Amino acid sequence: MSDSDNTRASLLMLGSMAAFAFEDLFLKRSATALNPGQVLVMIGTVGAVFFWLAAASKGQRILTRRAFAPAALLRSVCEGLASLLYVTALSLIPLSTNAALLQASPLVVTMGAALFLREPVGWRRWSAILVGFIGVLIVLRPGTEGFQIAGLLTVASVIALAARDLSTRMMPADIGTFQLTTWAYISIVPAGILLMVIAGAAPVLTIPATQWPDLIGALITGLVGYWAVTAAMRVGEVSFVAPFRYSRLVFAVILATLFLGERPDIWMIAGSALIIGSGLYTFARERNLRRRARLQTLSKVPVTR
């Protein structure tokens, strides 16, 4: 891939992370004013219809047995569970704290790939994962007055997201992106219904006019974010583009400061620095190992004349 492709992909990734940060802001305000479960049902329904139509335009079928294959079913369940946990956490803890904990996701994916997919992970990356988890503990601060138990919901959501990403790796490559995204949005609907049942909350039939801008904003920014992150991963080199995911925390902190009056303290900043630093090291290490493997393979190929 050319440098221009990577540049374009990095800009798309930055745009997608900004969109997701705005989505989190809109979701937090919606889930605080309304029942989080109902918010999930509404977002999931409209998003599923949108991507279903997009999939149909590409000739990708949604109602197919492949949606119930073990890997696809696991991915959908993990997506729904992650959404349930994440939106609940958004309604309970500061947006900036939520965003900081979310940055541990790549580390959990690396750990899961080593434990369940038998991918080789050396002591350096295991050390980086440990440092990242120390950063998570610093953000959470268990055993202190600043500890917010609802933060564990975000941690659980990160684990579910990692399981979703690992199950994606086990799926056939010919399954379309719009198929995957539609199945993901469909899975959010029963997750939202389950959350409403758990909370014992009845749906609000007449939504106040003041809530519609946040609901519509969450839907639009979520759709834009999904499109941009998919385009980024297809246009650019994954190892080059992936680190730009950490920009989501920067956007989230700025929005939380401007619109919610949050002020991240030194503990959250220090913990975030450890999480992001260890994640960046992991990405760099993986990129270096892939480059070495590629050069090793090329050196063994006989030269043809």
Pick from 139-143, 196-200, 292-296 the range whose average pLDDT is largest. Answer: 196-200
What confidence score (pLDDT) does residue 286 get? 81
For range 52-79, the mean pLDDT: 91
pLDDT at 138 over 70: yes
What is the pLDDT averaged over residues 218-230?
Answer: 90
Write down the pLDDT at residue 205: 84
pLDDT band at 74 (very low <50, low <70, confident <90, very high): very high
For range 1-7, the mean pLDDT: 71
Average pLDDT on 260-282 reads 93
More confident residue, 25 or 204: 25
pLDDT band at residue 216 using 50, 70 and 90 as cut-offs = very high
Whether 131 shows a pLDDT value over 50: the answer reads yes
Mapping DSSP to helix (H, G, I), strand (E, B) and coil, where does residue 13 land? helix
Predicted TM-score (pTM) of the model is 0.89
Count the residues in the chain.
305
The whole-number pLDDT of residue 304 equals 43
What is the H or E stretch that residue 156 is in? helix 151-169
Phi, psi at 101, each rounded to 5°: -65, -30
- Lowest model confidence (mean pLDDT) among 71-80, 154-163, 234-243, 249-258: 234-243
CB 79 within 8 A of CB 245: no
When pLDDT is averaged across residues 101-108 and rounded to a whole number, the result is: 93
Q: What is the DSSP string of 22-86?
A: HHHHHHHHHHHHS-HHHHHHHHHHHHHHHHHHHHHHTT--SSSGGGGSHHHHHHHHHHHHHHHHH
- What is the C-alpha separation between 13 and 164, in angstroms, rounded? 20
Answer whether residue 123 shows pLDDT above 70. yes
Mean local confidence (pLDDT), 264-282: 93
Please write the tens of the pLDDT for every residue from 25-40: 999 999 998 899 999 9
Comparison of pLDDT for 207 and 177, the residue scoring more? 207
- Closest-CA residue to 265 (of 146, 154, 136, 93): 146
pLDDT tens digits for range 157-173:
999 999 988 888 888 87
In the DSSP assignment, the letter for residue 15 is H
Tell me the mean pLDDT in the region 242-268.
Answer: 93
pLDDT, position 3: 63
Average pLDDT over the chain reads 89
Lowest-pLDDT range, 56-60, 118-122, 297-301?
Answer: 297-301
pLDDT surpassing 50 at residue 303: no
Q: Is the pLDDT of residue 302 over 60?
A: no
In the predicted structure, residue 182 carries a pLDDT above the cut 60: yes
Question: pLDDT class for 6, splitting at 50, 70, 90?
Answer: confident
Higher pLDDT, 81 or 1: 81
What percentage of the chain reaches a pLDDT higher than 70?
96
pLDDT band of residue 252 (cuts 50, 70, 90) is very high
Neighbours of 301 (CB within 10 A): 7
